[in-house]
Structure 1
């Protein structure tokens, strides 16, 4: 039970909203208030949607690892099953059950997870790095002559889309609809329509791959020995899309914001002492982590954990942002430590964290090498954040820089490449596709390379 005087004594009416402009503008203050309840607090994810938000690092680990008591199967969500929460509520598409590895437990999770991880492991990281570099060059060429850009719309949002289309073998129209649908779900704007768009586009992609399988994650999922049904393949793609676009965009943008605004990370891109990898870790350890609150679990029965009573079928949301900044963690715990919860923990740890980190690192390094005099076009305090209970997402990231007259000369058109397949194929039902040609040397950037370039070379051991 909470101590006397604790706001938790106020009951359900004291639930703190995690939606709206106030939370988006200052989540740190909201997390500080929530900590007054103890390791978990009653919140409102959207009007009419109640949950418990775990803000303690230790309690979060117990939930994430406590697979016998706390499960992921959203069919246990009591309020949705009874109609207390309507199916058209804007957060339902982010929480409703789908037959994918994110919502599965036990043997079902093991089977689906193996198909996902095996398929992702077949993407050659060297080929992925090269494709990200080529795609980044093409995007930077699009805006480099203007001297200004919005790094969200012009770069951070478009780059994961290009990479996703390539990895999953998406033609342009299908890829555009997939990402538009997922973005609508994250924002909670006309989420039901966005969910329909996402589902239709994914079905179209599966239909295409039945006709023309290739060297891509979609085809590898379909050919995996786990023998996924078409419906299961569709839902694995949806969860991978959710992890590979919106959070990836936020990781790139939030790290760029830090690099441009914080003197520890070279606000002027010339005199800083900490590299991009450290900036990524800083973002992942703080309330700027791309997915601030998620990993929804459901108690299988009424239970008490660390003094908090959880009801059977009640959504428990893990606040990665609050848990990572838990004041009870030892001072200086971040230095050289990647034990943050940004990728979750336990059996549902993000299976794509390695490629996600690679994509973000390469995207940021390439941008800073090409535009070394990049700076924010507005004071950092004037940047605005998109509302929503789950993500930490900038609305825009306006920048300025000296105009560049000479674009890079990429060797080929992004989207026209094939992937190397790293491990042996898990099944012979997918015909082998031609591998890509040997990667040529990177093109020379149009602007003089300053300290960022030297740090990049040093990190790569050149």
Structure 2
């Protein structure tokens, strides 16, 4: 069975979002295996808006039209980010609730509350020294490469991308490894939707411990700067801003690095150009951010009242999820020139656009360059068709990325 089997026949006039017919399950393995075919089928059937489920029994509208997404991003009055009315009817054990529910953070609020939280985050990130961050990535990357360079093979997720993003983020946030390990485990459970409720609790408890530590031992880090910001956030508010940065800083960044490496290692024309230097790592990142963004379907809004958009009525207080991947590949913006093109929506848009995009580019580019400089003859370790994708409604993530290369001596630290 393919994901297209979930689609009904030709749509009648009216809103596909209020249909009692089948919805496309974004959590299905078939969707993870080939989401782009699913997006094409949805677009043919429904246009810019498609009826989906983000978890069993949890309906949503998926935005797959680029200009429709831009309109929604820039209209928080009609498409607010606050889910509190929606979540009243959602069971506490729903696997997507921990990721979608209201929290006192910038992502789930609008207006003055959003501005207050966002100002603290932007100020904290704004003092990250890019030159120091270059050094941090190198200091983390080289020992990781040295840990497997003699072996002739590695899994780039388990042995490189995850531990690198984990360590770099800890340095930026000033988080000790033991606390960070629990936070990362909790965040992973939330993204996977397996044990998500317990994972969310573990995440918040570990980051509360971090905030309490920073009160006693402040540092030159983002957590301390958020705590000292003139917004005077409360302790729960501080914890939730740091949790937002963990959510954006581990899973999406890891996926961006891995998906870009996959492109270089599987796309013969692109890969050879990137590896021989005729195309930059930045070009590979742009290609991935268009076609396989690390968070494929992730920007949630909840209309305050029924609203007509693109000829379809969206119900009040029900999730509208922007498919960043589908919008980026919408034929209405089709282009063969992705290198240097920043028109993608991979970092969202409007007042909720990701404030850490430049840092994400820097870390991902440095991580990839360090690896390819250290192991220039690296190649995919299995046929490209054998690579598998993790299930989940929101992320675009491989289960592993095996590679081979000639055994090499350790790099100079």
With normalisation by structure 1, the TM-score equals 0.85
1:12 is paired with a residue whose SS is coil
Matched, 1:143 2:148: yes
Q: Deviations over 1:31-61 (max 9, x none)?
A: 1121121211110011011100000000001
- 1:425 aligns to what? none
- Match 2:206 to one of 178, 201, 204: 201
Structure 2 equivalent of residue 256 of structure 1: 261
**Among 73, 97, 110, the residue aligned to 1:105:** 110
In 2, the alpha carbon distance for the partners of 1:149 and 1:98 equals 39
Structure-1 separation of matches of 2:362 and 2:302? 32
Structure 2 unmatched runs, 5+: 1-9
Mark the CA change 1:346 to 1:220 in structure 2 (over 3 Å): closer, same or farther: same
> Cα offset for 1:267?
4.3
CA deviations on 1:428-450 (whole Å, 9 max, x unpaired) are xxxxxxxxxxxxxxxxxxxxxxx
What residue in structure 2 maps to residue 432 of structure 1?
A: none
| Distance of 1:159 and 1:25 partners within structure 2 | 26
Q: 1:59 is matched with which residue?
A: 68
Whether 1:302 and 2:306 are equivalent positions in the alignment is: yes
How far apart are 1:271 and its partner, in Å? 4.6
* Among candidates 346, 350, 354, match of residue 354 of structure 2: 350
Tell me, yes or no, if the aligned pair for 1:383 and 1:394 is still in contact at 8 Å: yes
Residue equivalent to 1:41: 50
Counterpart Cα distance in 1 of 2:165 and 2:256: 11
Q: Say whether residues 1:379 and 2:379 are aligned partners.
A: no
Q: Deviations over 1:252-310 (max 9, x none)?
A: 00000000111222349655632211110000011x11000011001111110111211
Q: Secondary structure at the match of 1:354?
A: helix
Map 1:282-293 → 2, pairs under 5 A: 282-286=287-291, 288-293=292-297
Provide the C-alpha distance between the structure 1 equivalents of 2:49 and 2:274, rounded to a whole number of angstroms: 40
Counterpart among 182, 185, 193 of residue 188 in structure 1 = 193
- Give the 3 Å change call, closer, same or farther, for CA 398–360 of structure 1 in structure 2: same
Contact 2:17/2:49, CA 8 A, preserved across alignment: no
- CA deviations on 1:19-41 (whole Å, 9 max, x unpaired) are 12111101011111211212111
TM-score (norm 2): 0.94
Q: Which of 31, 35, 59 is 2:39 aligned to? A: 31
**Shift of residue 13, structure 1, vs aligned partner:** 2.7
2:345 equivalent in structure 1: 341
Measure, in 2, the Cα distance between the counterparts of 1:73 and 1:95: 9
Please state whether the residue corresponding to 1:42 is helix, strand or coil.
Answer: strand
**Whose helix fraction is larger, Structure 1's or Structure 2's?**
2
Asked if residue 409 in structure 1 is aligned to residue 404 in structure 2, the reply is no
Equivalent residue, structure 2, for 1:70? 79
Q: CA RMSD in A?
A: 1.7
Q: Distance in 2 between matches of 1:409 and 1:99?
A: 45
Q: Distance in 1 between matches of 2:338 and 2:401?
A: 26
From 23, 26, 30, give the equivalent of 1:18.
26
Please give the alpha-carbon distance, in whole angstroms, between the structure 1 residues aligned to 2:339 and 2:146. 36
Report the CA distance shift for 1:269/1:275 in structure 2 as closer, same or farther (over 3 A). closer
Q: Aligned to 1:385, what secondary structure does the other structure show?
A: coil
Match of 1:431 in 2: none
- CA distance in structure 2 between the partners assigned to 1:6 and 1:98 by the alignment: 34
> Secondary structure of 1:363's partner?
helix
Q: Residue 7 of structure 2 corresponds to which residue in structure 1? A: none
Distance 1:124 1:331, change over 3 A: closer
Q: How big is each residue's C-alpha offset from its partner over 1:70-92, in whole Å with a ceiling of 9 and x where there is no partner?
A: 00011132xx31x3x21111111
1:91-128 CA distance string (max 9 Å, x none): 11110111000011011111110100000011100000
Match of 1:128 among 116, 129, 133: 133
Report which stretch shifted further, 177-186 or 272-281: 272-281
Deviates more, 1:150-159 or 1:261-270: 261-270
**C-alpha contact 2:16 2:49 (8 A) present in aligned 1:** no
Closer, same or farther in 2 for the Cα pair 1:67/1:369, shift >3 Å?
A: same
| Count of residues in correspondence between the two structures | 403
C-alpha spacing 1:16/1:211, structure 2 compared with 1 (3 Å): same
Q: Which residue of 1 aligns with 2:6?
A: none
- The whole-number CA distance in structure 2 between the counterparts of 1:358 and 1:331 is 25
Contact 1:147 1:402 in 2 (8 A): yes
Q: Which runs of 5 or more residues in structure 1 are unaligned?
A: 411-462
Q: Distance in 1 between matches of 2:149 and 2:53?
A: 43
Q: Is the 8 A contact 2:17 2:312 kept in 1?
A: no
Q: How far apart, in 1, do the equivalents of 2:15 and 2:73 lie?
A: 26
Give distance in 2, aligned partners of 1:335 and 1:402. 30
Q: Is the 8 A contact 2:257 2:364 kept in 1?
A: yes
Q: Deviations over 1:364-415 (max 9, x none)?
A: 000000000000000111000000000000000000001113x2232xxxxx
Cα offset, 1:217, TM superposition: 0.7
Closer/same/farther in 2, CA of residues 399 and 269 from structure 1, 3 Å limit:
farther
